[in-house]
Protein backbone atom coordinates (compact mmCIF):
# COMPACT_ATOMS: atom_id res chain seq x y z
CA UNK A 1 0.00 0.00 0.00
CA UNK A 2 1.38 3.44 -0.93
CA UNK A 3 1.42 6.39 1.50
CA UNK A 4 -1.63 8.19 0.10
CA UNK A 5 -4.19 5.36 0.39
CA UNK A 6 -2.83 4.62 3.90
CA UNK A 7 -3.44 8.22 4.98
CA UNK A 8 -6.92 8.07 3.51
CA UNK A 9 -7.66 4.86 5.39
CA UNK A 10 -6.51 6.45 8.66
CA UNK A 11 -8.73 9.48 8.06
CA UNK A 12 -11.67 7.23 7.32
CA UNK A 13 -11.02 5.32 10.56
CA UNK A 14 -10.84 8.57 12.54
CA UNK A 15 -14.07 9.81 10.97
CA UNK A 16 -15.71 6.46 11.73
CA UNK A 17 -14.65 6.64 15.37
CA UNK A 18 -16.05 10.15 15.77
CA UNK A 19 -19.32 9.13 14.08
CA UNK A 20 -19.62 6.09 16.36
CA UNK A 21 -18.95 8.21 19.45
CA UNK A 22 -21.60 10.70 18.33
CA UNK A 23 -24.12 7.99 17.60
CA UNK A 24 -23.64 5.95 20.76
CA UNK A 25 -22.74 8.58 23.32
CA UNK A 26 -25.20 10.92 25.00
CA UNK A 27 -24.49 14.12 26.87
CA UNK A 28 -25.36 17.71 27.60
CA UNK A 29 -28.58 18.83 25.96
CA UNK A 30 -31.43 19.75 28.32
CA UNK A 31 -34.99 18.62 27.63
CA UNK A 32 -36.96 21.41 25.92
CA UNK A 33 -40.05 22.55 27.83
CA UNK A 34 -42.13 23.01 24.65
CA UNK A 35 -41.42 19.39 23.70
CA UNK A 36 -42.37 18.08 27.16
CA UNK A 37 -46.02 19.19 27.00
CA UNK A 38 -48.23 16.40 25.64
CA UNK A 39 -49.72 17.25 22.26
CA UNK A 40 -53.14 15.72 22.74
CA UNK A 41 -54.23 15.99 26.36
CA UNK A 42 -58.00 16.29 26.12
CA UNK A 43 -60.04 16.30 29.28
CA UNK A 44 -63.80 15.83 29.20
CA UNK A 45 -63.83 16.97 32.81
CA UNK A 46 -63.74 20.75 33.31
CA UNK A 47 -63.12 21.62 36.95
CA UNK A 48 -64.42 25.03 38.09
CA UNK A 49 -61.27 25.63 40.16
CA UNK A 50 -57.93 27.36 39.78
CA UNK A 51 -54.64 25.56 40.36
CA UNK A 52 -51.08 26.52 41.24
CA UNK A 53 -48.25 24.25 40.03
CA UNK A 54 -45.06 23.55 41.96
CA UNK A 55 -42.25 21.21 40.84
CA UNK A 56 -39.26 19.83 42.74
CA UNK A 57 -36.47 17.31 42.46
CA UNK A 58 -35.38 18.36 38.96
CA UNK A 59 -31.87 19.33 37.91
CA UNK A 60 -30.32 21.61 35.34
CA UNK A 61 -28.18 20.04 32.61
CA UNK A 62 -24.47 20.67 33.09
CA UNK A 63 -21.92 21.01 30.30
CA UNK A 64 -20.60 17.48 30.69
CA UNK A 65 -23.83 16.05 32.09
CA UNK A 66 -26.58 14.14 30.27
CA UNK A 67 -30.09 15.50 29.56
CA UNK A 68 -31.93 16.43 32.74
CA UNK A 69 -35.31 17.96 33.49
CA UNK A 70 -35.17 21.35 35.21
CA UNK A 71 -37.91 22.24 37.69
CA UNK A 72 -38.85 25.42 35.81
CA UNK A 73 -39.16 23.58 32.48
CA UNK A 74 -41.29 20.81 33.96
CA UNK A 75 -43.52 23.41 35.65
CA UNK A 76 -43.99 25.29 32.36
CA UNK A 77 -44.79 22.05 30.49
CA UNK A 78 -47.41 21.02 33.09
CA UNK A 79 -48.97 24.48 33.08
CA UNK A 80 -49.17 24.45 29.27
CA UNK A 81 -50.79 21.00 29.34
CA UNK A 82 -53.37 22.06 31.93
CA UNK A 83 -54.28 25.14 29.89
CA UNK A 84 -54.57 23.10 26.68
CA UNK A 85 -56.67 20.40 28.33
CA UNK A 86 -59.00 22.83 30.08
CA UNK A 87 -59.00 20.55 33.13
CA UNK A 88 -58.86 23.53 35.52
CA UNK A 89 -60.49 26.94 35.08
CA UNK A 90 -57.05 28.59 35.08
CA UNK A 91 -53.46 28.26 36.25
CA UNK A 92 -52.40 30.80 38.85
CA UNK A 93 -49.06 32.03 40.14
CA UNK A 94 -47.79 33.21 43.53
CA UNK A 95 -49.75 32.01 46.55
CA UNK A 96 -53.13 31.93 44.83
CA UNK A 97 -55.15 28.98 43.55
CA UNK A 98 -57.94 26.78 44.86
CA UNK A 99 -55.63 23.76 44.60
CA UNK A 100 -51.86 23.26 44.74
CA UNK A 101 -50.42 20.63 42.42
CA UNK A 102 -46.93 19.49 43.45
CA UNK A 103 -45.00 17.22 41.11
CA UNK A 104 -41.78 15.76 42.54
CA UNK A 105 -39.20 13.98 40.41
CA UNK A 106 -38.14 10.86 42.31
CA UNK A 107 -35.92 9.44 39.60
CA UNK A 108 -34.85 9.87 36.00
CA UNK A 109 -33.25 6.66 34.76
CA UNK A 110 -31.18 7.27 31.62
CA UNK A 111 -28.75 5.09 29.68
CA UNK A 112 -25.19 6.31 29.29
CA UNK A 113 -24.44 4.44 26.08
CA UNK A 114 -26.18 2.29 23.50
CA UNK A 115 -28.38 2.13 20.41
CA UNK A 116 -32.02 2.64 21.36
CA UNK A 117 -32.29 4.85 24.47
CA UNK A 118 -35.04 4.05 26.99
CA UNK A 119 -35.62 6.68 29.69
CA UNK A 120 -37.83 6.09 32.73
CA UNK A 121 -39.24 8.97 34.74
CA UNK A 122 -40.55 8.37 38.27
CA UNK A 123 -42.65 11.15 39.82
CA UNK A 124 -45.05 11.80 42.68
CA UNK A 125 -48.18 13.85 41.94
CA UNK A 126 -49.85 15.50 44.90
CA UNK A 127 -52.97 17.70 44.76
CA UNK A 128 -53.85 19.66 47.89
CA UNK A 129 -56.96 21.80 48.49
CA UNK A 130 -55.59 25.22 49.49
CA UNK A 131 -58.45 26.19 51.84
CA UNK A 132 -57.99 23.36 54.36
CA UNK A 133 -54.69 21.79 53.18
CA UNK A 134 -56.43 18.44 52.66
CA UNK A 135 -54.74 16.01 50.28
CA UNK A 136 -57.16 15.00 47.52
CA UNK A 137 -54.70 13.03 45.37
CA UNK A 138 -51.38 11.32 45.92
CA UNK A 139 -50.13 9.21 43.04
CA UNK A 140 -46.84 7.69 41.94
CA UNK A 141 -46.48 7.96 38.16
CA UNK A 142 -43.81 5.99 36.28
CA UNK A 143 -43.42 6.49 32.53
CA UNK A 144 -40.94 5.25 29.94
CA UNK A 145 -40.08 6.28 26.42
CA UNK A 146 -37.70 4.71 23.91
CA UNK A 147 -36.06 6.58 21.05
CA UNK A 148 -34.39 4.52 18.34
CA UNK A 149 -31.40 5.37 16.17
CA UNK A 150 -33.71 5.79 13.18
CA UNK A 151 -35.37 8.73 14.99
CA UNK A 152 -32.09 10.45 15.87
CA UNK A 153 -28.61 9.32 14.92
CA UNK A 154 -26.71 11.63 17.25
CA UNK A 155 -26.70 10.26 20.82
CA UNK A 156 -27.24 13.61 22.55
CA UNK A 157 -30.37 14.27 20.49
CA UNK A 158 -31.64 10.70 20.94
CA UNK A 159 -31.32 10.94 24.73
CA UNK A 160 -33.06 14.33 24.81
CA UNK A 161 -35.96 12.99 22.73
CA UNK A 162 -36.30 9.97 25.05
CA UNK A 163 -36.36 12.24 28.13
CA UNK A 164 -38.96 14.53 26.55
CA UNK A 165 -41.12 11.53 25.56
CA UNK A 166 -41.01 10.14 29.11
CA UNK A 167 -42.05 13.55 30.49
CA UNK A 168 -44.94 13.85 28.02
CA UNK A 169 -46.31 10.43 29.01
CA UNK A 170 -45.86 11.26 32.68
CA UNK A 171 -47.83 14.50 32.37
CA UNK A 172 -50.61 12.76 30.44
CA UNK A 173 -50.95 10.07 33.10
CA UNK A 174 -50.76 12.58 35.96
CA UNK A 175 -53.48 14.81 34.50
CA UNK A 176 -55.64 11.77 33.82
CA UNK A 177 -55.31 10.78 37.50
CA UNK A 178 -56.51 14.27 38.51
CA UNK A 179 -59.45 14.02 36.08
CA UNK A 180 -60.39 10.67 37.65
CA UNK A 181 -60.11 11.96 41.24
CA UNK A 182 -63.31 12.95 43.05
CA UNK A 183 -62.84 16.71 43.49
CA UNK B 1 0.38 11.18 10.64
CA UNK B 2 -1.57 14.46 10.96
CA UNK B 3 -4.82 12.50 11.17
CA UNK B 4 -3.39 10.42 14.00
CA UNK B 5 -2.28 13.54 15.88
CA UNK B 6 -5.75 15.05 15.46
CA UNK B 7 -7.30 11.82 16.74
CA UNK B 8 -4.98 11.81 19.77
CA UNK B 9 -5.91 15.46 20.51
CA UNK B 10 -9.62 14.64 20.25
CA UNK B 11 -9.08 11.74 22.65
CA UNK B 12 -7.27 14.00 25.11
CA UNK B 13 -10.09 16.58 25.03
CA UNK B 14 -12.66 13.83 25.56
CA UNK B 15 -10.65 12.39 28.44
CA UNK B 16 -10.28 15.84 29.97
CA UNK B 17 -13.99 16.55 29.72
CA UNK B 18 -15.18 13.22 31.10
CA UNK B 19 -12.61 13.38 33.88
CA UNK B 20 -14.05 16.63 35.27
CA UNK B 21 -14.87 16.51 38.96
CA UNK B 22 -18.64 16.84 39.26
CA UNK B 23 -20.25 16.68 42.68
CA UNK B 24 -23.98 16.90 43.22
CA UNK B 25 -25.96 16.10 46.33
CA UNK B 26 -29.64 16.91 46.74
CA UNK B 27 -32.63 15.82 48.79
CA UNK B 28 -36.33 16.64 48.67
CA UNK B 29 -39.07 15.72 51.11
CA UNK B 30 -42.73 15.86 50.11
CA UNK B 31 -44.49 18.76 51.86
CA UNK B 32 -47.18 16.37 53.11
CA UNK B 33 -44.72 13.78 54.45
CA UNK B 34 -43.62 13.59 58.07
CA UNK B 35 -40.48 11.50 58.27
CA UNK B 36 -40.25 12.13 62.01
CA UNK B 37 -43.04 9.59 62.49
CA UNK B 38 -41.22 6.92 60.47
CA UNK B 39 -39.69 4.29 62.74
CA UNK B 40 -39.47 1.29 60.42
CA UNK B 41 -38.28 0.80 56.84
CA UNK B 42 -38.38 -2.04 54.35
CA UNK B 43 -35.54 -2.01 51.80
CA UNK B 44 -36.47 -3.56 48.44
CA UNK B 45 -33.36 -4.88 46.64
CA UNK B 46 -32.99 -3.59 43.09
CA UNK B 47 -33.48 -6.48 40.67
CA UNK B 48 -30.12 -5.78 38.99
CA UNK B 49 -28.18 -5.13 42.22
CA UNK B 50 -25.15 -7.44 42.22
CA UNK B 51 -23.13 -5.34 44.64
CA UNK B 52 -25.26 -5.52 47.78
CA UNK B 53 -26.24 -1.85 47.87
CA UNK B 54 -29.53 -2.82 49.58
CA UNK B 55 -27.51 -4.23 52.48
CA UNK B 56 -25.47 -1.01 52.80
CA UNK B 57 -28.70 1.00 52.95
CA UNK B 58 -30.24 -1.35 55.53
CA UNK B 59 -27.09 -1.27 57.70
CA UNK B 60 -26.91 2.51 57.55
CA UNK B 61 -30.57 2.90 58.58
CA UNK B 62 -30.09 0.42 61.45
CA UNK B 63 -27.11 2.47 62.67
CA UNK B 64 -29.44 5.47 62.76
CA UNK B 65 -31.81 3.58 65.06
CA UNK B 66 -34.53 2.45 62.64
CA UNK B 67 -36.12 -0.98 62.43
CA UNK B 68 -35.24 -2.39 59.02
CA UNK B 69 -36.31 -5.40 57.01
CA UNK B 70 -34.98 -6.43 53.59
CA UNK B 71 -36.64 -8.38 50.76
CA UNK B 72 -38.85 -8.12 47.71
CA UNK B 73 -41.99 -7.51 49.79
CA UNK B 74 -42.36 -6.55 53.47
CA UNK B 75 -43.59 -9.41 55.67
CA UNK B 76 -44.71 -7.03 58.41
CA UNK B 77 -46.30 -3.58 58.29
CA UNK B 78 -43.69 -0.82 57.92
CA UNK B 79 -43.86 2.97 57.88
CA UNK B 80 -41.97 3.36 54.58
CA UNK B 81 -40.35 1.29 51.86
CA UNK B 82 -36.95 2.13 50.41
CA UNK B 83 -36.04 1.82 46.73
CA UNK B 84 -32.85 2.95 45.01
CA UNK B 85 -31.02 3.22 41.71
CA UNK B 86 -27.23 2.93 41.64
CA UNK B 87 -25.03 3.77 38.65
CA UNK B 88 -21.46 2.58 38.33
CA UNK B 89 -18.59 3.70 36.11
CA UNK B 90 -15.16 2.34 35.32
CA UNK B 91 -12.02 4.44 35.70
CA UNK B 92 -9.03 2.23 36.62
CA UNK B 93 -11.48 0.47 38.96
CA UNK B 94 -15.28 0.38 39.13
CA UNK B 95 -16.82 3.05 41.34
CA UNK B 96 -20.32 4.21 42.25
CA UNK B 97 -21.03 7.26 40.09
CA UNK B 98 -24.55 8.08 41.24
CA UNK B 99 -27.01 6.89 43.86
CA UNK B 100 -30.69 7.82 44.15
CA UNK B 101 -32.69 6.64 47.17
CA UNK B 102 -36.47 6.97 47.60
CA UNK B 103 -38.60 6.58 50.72
CA UNK B 104 -42.08 5.52 49.60
CA UNK B 105 -45.53 5.11 51.06
CA UNK B 106 -45.87 1.28 51.36
CA UNK B 107 -49.45 1.09 50.05
CA UNK B 108 -49.29 3.44 47.06
CA UNK B 109 -45.55 3.58 46.26
CA UNK B 110 -45.83 7.39 46.43
CA UNK B 111 -42.36 8.98 46.85
CA UNK B 112 -42.21 10.64 50.28
CA UNK B 113 -38.57 11.69 50.01
CA UNK B 114 -35.80 11.48 47.43
CA UNK B 115 -32.06 11.85 47.81
CA UNK B 116 -29.43 11.86 45.10
CA UNK B 117 -25.63 12.07 45.07
CA UNK B 118 -23.30 12.09 42.10
CA UNK B 119 -19.51 12.05 42.34
CA UNK B 120 -17.29 11.52 39.32
CA UNK B 121 -13.99 9.67 39.44
CA UNK B 122 -11.70 12.35 40.84
CA UNK B 123 -13.93 12.90 43.85
CA UNK B 124 -15.35 9.40 44.11
CA UNK B 125 -16.72 8.13 47.41
CA UNK B 126 -16.87 4.52 48.58
CA UNK B 127 -20.34 2.88 48.35
CA UNK B 128 -20.90 3.10 52.17
CA UNK B 129 -19.95 6.81 52.05
CA UNK B 130 -22.35 7.42 49.15
CA UNK B 131 -25.19 5.70 51.04
CA UNK B 132 -24.38 7.68 54.19
CA UNK B 133 -24.32 10.99 52.28
CA UNK B 134 -27.67 10.39 50.53
CA UNK B 135 -29.53 9.14 53.63
CA UNK B 136 -27.94 11.86 55.76
CA UNK B 137 -29.19 14.58 53.41
CA UNK B 138 -32.71 13.12 53.24
CA UNK B 139 -33.08 12.84 57.01
CA UNK B 140 -31.40 16.23 57.61
CA UNK B 141 -33.89 17.78 55.19
CA UNK B 142 -36.73 16.43 57.34
CA UNK B 143 -35.20 17.94 60.50
CA UNK B 144 -35.10 21.37 58.81
CA UNK B 145 -38.76 21.25 57.72
What does the pLDDT look like over B92-143, one tens digit per residue? 999 999 999 999 999 999 999 999 999 988 889 999 999 999 999 999 876 6
As a whole number of angstroms, the distance between CA A103 and CA A100 comes to 10
Any domain includes B130? yes
Q: Does B87 touch chain A (CB under 8 A)?
A: yes
Any domain includes B5? no
- Measured in whole angstroms, how far is the alpha carbon of residue B53 from the centre of its chain? 9
The span from the first CA to the last CA of chain A, in angstroms, equals 78
Any domain includes B43? yes
ipTM: 0.75
Domain extent for B117: 22-144
Any domain includes B57? yes
A123·B111 Cβ contact <8 A:
yes
User: What pLDDT is attached to residue A39?
Assistant: 64
Contacts of B30 in chain A (CB under 8 A): 102, 104, 124, 126
Task: Write out the DSSP string of chain A.
Answer: --HHHHHHHHHHHHHHHHHHHHHHB----PPPHHHHS-TT---S--EEEEEEEEEES--PPPTTS-----HHHHHHHHHHHHHHHT-EEEEE-TT--SEEEEEEEEEEE--SB-SSEEEEEEEEEEEEETTT--EEEEEEEEEEEEE-TTT-SSHHHHHHHHHHHHHHHHHHHHHHHHHHS--
Please count the structural domains in chain B: 1
User: What pLDDT is attached to residue B15?
Assistant: 44
For residue B16, give the chain A residue with the closest CA: A64
Any domain includes B79? yes
Task: Write out the DSSP string of B64-93.
Answer: TT-EEEESSS-SS--SEEEEEEEEEEEESE
For residue B10, give the chain A residue with the closest CA: A18
As a whole number of angstroms, the distance between CA A178 and CA B130 comes to 36
Give the CATH number for residue B118: 3.30.160
Give the pLDDT mean for A128-155.
92
Any domain includes B3? no
Contacts of B17 in chain A (CB under 8 A): 64
B118 against A24, higher pLDDT: B118
Give the confidence band of B85 by pLDDT, cuts at 50, 70, 90: very high
Any domain includes B2? no
For residue B17, give the chain A residue with the closest CA: A64
Give the confidence band of B37 by pLDDT, cuts at 50, 70, 90: very high
Residue percentage of chain A with pLDDT more than 70: 80
Interface probe, candidates A24, A58, A104, A181, chain B, greatest B C-beta count within 10 A = A104
Selecting from A11, A57, A112 the residue whose C-beta is nearest the C-beta of B114 gives A57
Res. B11: pLDDT tops 60: no
User: What pLDDT is attached to residue A17?
Assistant: 57
Please provide the CATH number assigned to the domain covering A3-180: 3.30.160.150
Contacts of B111 in chain A (CB under 8 A): 104, 106, 122-124, 140
User: What pLDDT is attached to residue B75?
Assistant: 84
Q: Where are the domains of chain A?
A: 3-180
A18·B10 Cβ contact <8 A:
yes
User: What pLDDT is attached to residue A99?
Assistant: 96
pTM for the full model?
A: 0.79
Amino acid sequence: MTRQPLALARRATAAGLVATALALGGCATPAHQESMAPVAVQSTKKLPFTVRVETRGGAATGLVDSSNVADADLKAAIETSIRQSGLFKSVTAGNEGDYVLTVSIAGLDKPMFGGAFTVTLDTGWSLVRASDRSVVLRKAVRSSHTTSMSEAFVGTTRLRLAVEGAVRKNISEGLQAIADAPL
Amino acid sequence: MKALIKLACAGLVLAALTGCAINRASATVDPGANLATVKSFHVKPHEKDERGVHQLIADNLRKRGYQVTVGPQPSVAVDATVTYVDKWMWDITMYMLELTINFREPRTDYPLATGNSLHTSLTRLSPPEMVDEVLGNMLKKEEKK
